[in-house]
Every structure is written in C-alpha cells, then in structure tokens.
Amino acid sequence: MVGLPASGRAPVDDVLILDGSYLDPGDPSGVLVERHMADHFGLSTGDHLSVYGASGWEQLTVRGIAASAEYIWPARSRQEVLTLPDQFGVIFAPQPLVDALPGQLTTPQVLVTYTGAAEDPALTDTLVARAQQAGAASAFTRADQPSNAALAEDINGFGELSLMFPIMFLTAAGLATYVLLSRMVHAQRPQIGLLLAVGFPRRRVFTHYLGFGLITGLLGSGLGAVIGLLLAGVITNVYTGVISIPVTIVELRPLTVVLGIAFGAVAGALASLAPALRASRLSPAAAMSGQIAAGIGTESLAERLIPPLRRLPARWKMVVRGIGRSPVRSISTVVGVMIAVTLVLVSWGMLDTVQVLVDRQFNQAQQADALVSLPGGVDASTLSAIGATSGVASVEPLTQLPVTIDHGGQRYATELDAFPANTVMHRFLTPNGDQPLPTDGVLVGSALRNTIGLAEGDQVTLIFDGLDRSVQTRVSGFVDEPLGTYAYASSAVIQELIGADAATATTAANIQFTASADRGATMRALESVTGVAAVVDLKGLKQAADALMGLFYVFVGVMLALGAVMAFALLFNLMSANISERLTELASLRASGMSGSELSRMITGENVLLTLAGIVPGLIVGYFGAAAFMASFSSDLFQFDLQVRPTTFVFTAIGVLAAALISQLPILRAVRRIDVARVVRERAL
C-alpha cells in the first residue's frame, strides 16, 4: 500500500490513471489498484477488495486502475524482482489510510528530485550521508530503484547481445567473402594477367574486386535494415506486452539505420581487401601462364613432433604434408572452423546457463513448496493446524526481516531470512557444495563481495528497518544463488541478536507437500486455517521465471539457428575452396592411377584434420565469449555465472565436424567426375 495525497497530485512519482478516477478526500476508503494486480484479479472500477491491517480485514473500494513508473516491472525489492501476482501487488491509497497502520507495518520514504536534467553525484553523496545520519536504513538513486534496475539490466543485456551477435555474424560473413573472392581471383588469373599485360591499371583491378565485397555488404545490410525495421515494432510490442508497460513507443532513429548499413559495408570491404590487393599485384606473365606458387610437401611439423608419423603410407603423408603446403588456405580453414564453433557454442552456452541456474534456484536451493503468511505471528497451535492439513508433509517457521548491511559506511538493503538450524526448506549453495547455517554470524549473497567489499569473517552492522535497532555480527560465508542477494541466519542466531523481537517478527512459515498432494486443494485448505492471511505457491515462481526468460530464450534461440546456418555456409565455402583450388593437382593424381575413392579419402582426411585443429580453440573462444555475454546480465539482482553442460561441448564439436563432412560432399562428387584428359590438356597449354 503506497500513500498518495488524497487532494492534489503527487509532485514526485505520480501515477497514470488508466481507468476510473483519482483519489478523492471525500472517499477515504477509495484506492487505486496497480495495473498488474488489477489484470491478474480482474479488478475494475467500483469493485471491492479487503486489506489485512492492524485491526484485521478492512474493505476498500477501487476508484481506478493506475500505472506507476515505480512498478513498471512489479518488483517488491532488489532481491525480489521476480514476484507472482498472488504474492505481491500494489494499491495506492490516501495518505491518512496509510498513516493509520501500525508503525511496524510502514516504511516512510522521502523522494527527492534535482534541479536540472542530470543527476548530481556530489549532491547524491551529501543526501545519502545526511539520510544515514537521520536514521535512514538505505538510500538509492532512481537507477537503483528495483523496477528500473531490473528493466535496465534486461535492456542493457539485450543491447550488448544486439551488438556482439552481429559482430560474430559479420566476422563469419567476412571470412566467407574473403574465401569466395580469393577463389574468384584464383579462377580469373589468366584474364587478370591479360588485362594487366595490355595496360589495364592495377588500381582498376583493385577497385573491381574490392567492389564485390563492398556492394555485397551494402546490399546485405540494406536488406537487413529493412527487415529489421519491420520487425522492430513487432518485437517492441511483444516486449512491452510481456511486462505490461502501459505506453509503447516505436521510434525510428536514422543514426541506427545508417550505422547498421555502414557496419555491413565496412565488413564487406575489409573482407575483400586482401583478395583485391592480391589481384592487383599479380605478375602478368605468371598469371597468364597459369603457374601457381605452391609450397613443397616437406616433412611436416607433426612428423617432427611425432616420429611414428614418418612411417605412414605415402598417401597419408600427403594428407599430413598437404596442410603445410598452403598455409593461408589451412589457416583460413582453421579460423573458419573456430568461428563456426564459436557461433554455435555462445548461443547454446547461454541457453544452458539460464536453464541450469533456474533449476539451481528453484529445484536445488529452494526446497519449500509454499509459503503461508501469518500476520498475527507464529505459535505452536498454528503450526500444528497447518501441519495437520491434508497434503502437508512438513512445516517450519520463517522469519523475514528487512535489513540493511553496513560495512565501513557502505550499505546494502536486503532481506534477512532466518530458518531453523536444521531446516529442510532451503539449501545454502556454494561452489563447493551445500553449507549449513552457521552457529554464529550470517550468510550473505556472493554479489556483496564486490558491491560493498565484504569478505568472510568481516564484522558488519545489521540495521533492522522495522525494529528501529541495529546489531553487529560477522559474515560467516557466502552463498551463490542466481536470483537476488539475501542474508541468511539460523533462528537461534537471530533470537540471540534481537531477542524478543525475533518472536514477533516471525510471521510466515514454509510448507512442503507430500508427493501425492493435490497442490491446488492443499493450498485452498491452508487458506482456511485460522491465522493464515495468504498462501504463496513457491513453485509457481519457476513458471514466472520461465515466462520472464521467454524473450531471452526466443532471442538466443534465433541466434543459435542463424549461427548454425552461418556456420554451415562458412564451412561449405571453405571446404569447396580447399578442393576446387586443387582440381589440377587432383586430376594429375587421377592420371597417375589414384582412384576417385582414394582421392576422396585423402581430401576428407585433410579436411578432418583442419576441422579438428579448429574445434578445440573454437570451444575455448566460444566458452569465454558466452561467459562475457552472460556477465552482461549479472549484478546483485541476477548472478548469471556461465554454466555449460559437458554434453554441449561434445554435441557442438560433433555437429561442426558433421557439417564440415557434409559440406564437402558436392565437391567430392565433382572430384570423382574429373575429366582427366581435359584438365591435363589445359595444364599443358
């Protein structure tokens, strides 16, 4: 319940009325319902709802439906940016109605605006210091406000992805362009030599081949810009619809379009630069004669490092030594395979991470099935009644306290949850496994290592906002949880720290259901227990997390599909070029008596070696690339440490190797059909 002036509008953090009318001093029980809550419960103007206050349930009237900048994303706090409508909702009430609530149920806030358009860091520091001197538990800027911070993290993360993925795709496209133009220059050497011999300017040859990449880049990026503009509005509306933003603005920024097209054009020009230079520098006589410099198949590095390879049959020595005869071609193939692996692994690794961490949060750390709210407090009879409910396997009291952790003047506002020492409702996960609740001190989220510079064993001050008191304790360890940055302690430790206040602050209980329980029926039965105000389905949070990550899954899934297509196209170009550039050499081997199947095996062997040489570094680059992408989503709100399943590495390697083998099939068929007489005759001429 957020207090607003009953007469006149709030000068700071006002609301947008979507339906109905604003608060009225003549209607002291009339309230505004935030749109997320109204949509979920089907509330409209004139409906009634009840609020549990100091004197029990009080009926209120819905005067209107409102949207608030503070709750564009309905986050309860920075730790609970993911909430269920049944767990958290917002109503805006006349300030006198809020003032009538008991002090322990209210949190006074002061909202400040600055003169000028920009934030003043010096003024911010002064205000924070004075607020703390005046007893404020925490102070934060608009950027750190939970809803704004959560959306900013999401948008900034997508922003980085929207830059890095095109860079990867354009790198792959650039390499493909380089290979194709190099192949074109190779095939057109006689014509280039003739033109140069009759006085055709080298500059014209250079600009001719440079134009291939430049025009391809312009055409591709131009078409991409058009498709992107058409999809931008669709994606924006889907995004704002998912998070229920009341106003959607689709804006065309010409600079974005210009930069996108320029990005593609520059990538195409850079890719064609080397082949264009090579064409312009050809010797006319050598080019017209068809002579092509090639390396000599001397003893390879592999044979020197592994002497038994020297005893291989001649045709397999040709495979090993053939790699070193054309370093540029071999290096291009290895780099192409690395890029192909990176394209696939980055996207796949990001999907793995989200799936693994959602499982870690909701299936490993969180063991409770439901949470019941007990505003009147927890006592033995209430716990007994809850435990006796059909479908309930176990019940534990839970103390939830808003707390600010102070370490050397640096503060962080969070929630402290106190469980029984031997709790079965929550596991406290670390990189080394589970950690039990300490017998003294508290466990805190690992993000606080960087946020306020905490280390294990440090002394901290816990400021309990609702109890108007502070105590000192130590940090006993850190937990790694994907969502939020909480503090945890045992009930005994909290009892020792705050005494009798711990009992009055215990107003919730965790529930585990039996394996055969009907979840819906059990939760309805719990709601009827005396003293229970609300029941929250904690497993429903996983569904909310999956819904929140839906756009992420779609975005990264599309990138994975595009990456796989790009990887295959790149490998096809590389393998085709590797073979087609050597048709004369291969025809000579056929003329010497080598069969088509033997040639195919030799070529396949060389391509497999080059592919394997690119897969391992590609997996390494892809892993660190995915880690960098996931780090862009990480903060104290979310901890997205990269989690790649071992099978992902295996399947990526197998998939790229299979793509390389498949991509060479059309050219291998051409090799088996070589017209030996024609190729040898052309070579003789």
User: What does the pLDDT look like over 281-314, one tens digit per residue?
Assistant: 888 877 776 555 555 556 665 666 666 666 666 6
Burial environment of residue 386 by CB neighbours within 10 A (0 to 12, 13 to 18, 19 or more): buried
Please, which pLDDT band fits residue 54 given cuts at 50, 70 and 90?
Answer: low
Strand partners, 490: 419
Task: Please give the residue that has the higher pLDDT: either 492 or 153.
Answer: 492
C-alpha 613/C-alpha 337 separation (Å) is 8
C-alpha 622/C-alpha 166 separation (Å) is 15
Contacts of 160 (CB under 8 A, 6+ apart): 629, 632
C-alpha 262/C-alpha 266 separation (Å) is 6
Domain residue limits at 234: 145-293
Are 455 and 548 within one domain?
A: no
Strand partners, 412: 405
**Residue 353 is assigned to a structural domain of this protein:** yes
**Single-letter amino acid code for the residue at 440:** D
Task: Please give the residue that has the higher pLDDT: either 291 or 656.
Answer: 656
121 φ, ψ (degrees, to nearest 5): -55, -40
Secondary structure of residue 647 in the 3-state scheme: helix
* Positive or negative torsion for Cα 522, 527, 529, 532: positive
| Residue 680: predicted pLDDT | 59
| Residue 678: predicted pLDDT | 64
* Tally of CB atoms within 10 A around 522: 21
| Residue 527: predicted pLDDT | 87
Please, which pLDDT band fits residue 514 given cuts at 50, 70 and 90?
Answer: very high
| Residue 466: predicted pLDDT | 67
E strand intervals along 328-468: 370-373, 392-407, 410-419, 429-430, 433-434, 442-445, 459-464
The residue among 497, 478, 498 whose CA lies nearest residue 487 is 478
- Asked if residue 281 lies in contact with residue 186, where contact means CB atoms within 8 angstroms, the answer is no
**Residue 304 is assigned to a structural domain of this protein:** no
Q: Is the pLDDT of residue 610 over 70?
A: yes
Are 214 and 258 within one domain?
A: yes
**Residue 117 is assigned to a structural domain of this protein:** no
**Residue 309 is assigned to a structural domain of this protein:** no
**Residue 395 is assigned to a structural domain of this protein:** yes
Q: What is the 3-state secondary structure (H, E, C) of 216-285?
A: HHHHHHHHHHHHHHHHHHHHHHHHHHHCCCCCCCCCCCHHHHHHHHHHHHHHHHHHHHHHHHHHHCCCHH
C-alpha 412/C-alpha 446 separation (Å) is 13
Are 289 and 335 within one domain?
A: no
Are 341 and 422 within one domain?
A: no
Are 359 and 374 within one domain?
A: no
Q: Is the pLDDT of residue 609 over 70?
A: yes
Stated as kind and residue range, the H or E segment containing 357 is helix 327-359
C-alpha 544/C-alpha 358 separation (Å) is 11
366-424, pLDDT tens digit by residue?
889 888 988 878 888 888 999 999 999 999 999 888 888 888 888 888 888 999 988 99
Kindly provide the b/e burial profile for residues 70-96, where b requires at least 16 CB atoms within 10 angstroms of the residue's own CB: bbbbbbbebbbbbbbeebbbbbbbbee
Are 389 and 533 within one domain?
A: yes
Strand partners, 483: 638
- Whole-structure pTM value: 0.69
- When mean pLDDT is compared over 56-70, 233-247, 278-292, the highest value belongs to 56-70
Are 468 and 491 within one domain?
A: yes
**Single-letter amino acid code for the residue at 200:** F
Contacts of 543 (CB under 8 A, 6+ apart): none
Q: Is the pLDDT of residue 636 over 70?
A: no
Please, which pLDDT band fits residue 323 given cuts at 50, 70 and 90?
Answer: low
**Residue 514 is assigned to a structural domain of this protein:** yes
Are 428 and 451 within one domain?
A: yes
Tracing tokens 């370093």 back to the chain, one arrives at 327
C-alpha 197/C-alpha 116 separation (Å) is 70
Tracing tokens 């892993």 back to the chain, one arrives at 623
Last residue of a domain, one of 537, 554, 588: 537
The residue among 610, 617, 624 whose CA lies nearest residue 657 is 610
In percent, the amount of the chain with pLDDT more than 90 equals 13
| Residue 612: predicted pLDDT | 86
How many domains is the chain partitioned into structurally? 4
What DSSP assignment string belongs to 69-115? GGGSS--SSSS--S--TTT---EEEEHHHHHTS-GGG---------S
Strand partners, 397: 509
* Tally of CB atoms within 10 A around 414: 24
Kindly provide the b/e burial profile for residues 339-365, where b requires at least 16 CB atoms within 10 angstroms of the residue's own CB: bbbbbbbbbbbbbbbbebbbebbbeeb
* Positive or negative torsion for Cα 358, 538, 450, 432: negative
**Residue 298 is assigned to a structural domain of this protein:** no
| Residue 38: predicted pLDDT | 93
Are 515 and 654 within one domain?
A: no
Task: Please give the residue that has the higher pLDDT: either 677 or 25.
Answer: 25
Are 29 and 101 within one domain?
A: yes
Kindly provide the b/e burial profile for residues 193-220, where b requires at least 16 CB atoms within 10 angstroms of the residue's own CB: bebbeeeeeeeebbeebbebbbebbbeb
Mean per-residue pLDDT of the chain = 82
- Find the range with the poorest average confidence among 338-347, 452-461, 580-589: 580-589
Are 182 and 289 within one domain?
A: yes
Distance of CA 314 to the CA centre of its chain: 51
**Residue 131 is assigned to a structural domain of this protein:** no
Q: Is the pLDDT of residue 447 over 60?
A: yes
What radius of gyration, in Å, describes the C-alpha atoms of the chain? Answer: 34
Are 549 and 676 within one domain?
A: yes
610 φ, ψ (degrees, to nearest 5): -65, -40
Tracing tokens 């904690």 back to the chain, one arrives at 538
Burial environment of residue 19 by CB neighbours within 10 A (0 to 12, 13 to 18, 19 or more): middle
Average pLDDT over residues 229-256: 82
| Residue 291: predicted pLDDT | 52
Last residue of a domain, one of 514, 537, 560: 537
Last residue of a domain, one of 107, 135, 157: 107
61-104, pLDDT tens digit by residue?
999 999 998 888 888 887 777 777 777 899 999 988 888 877 66
Average pLDDT over residues 535-540: 82
Structure-block tokens of residue 256:
């974005």
C-alpha 453/C-alpha 571 separation (Å) is 47
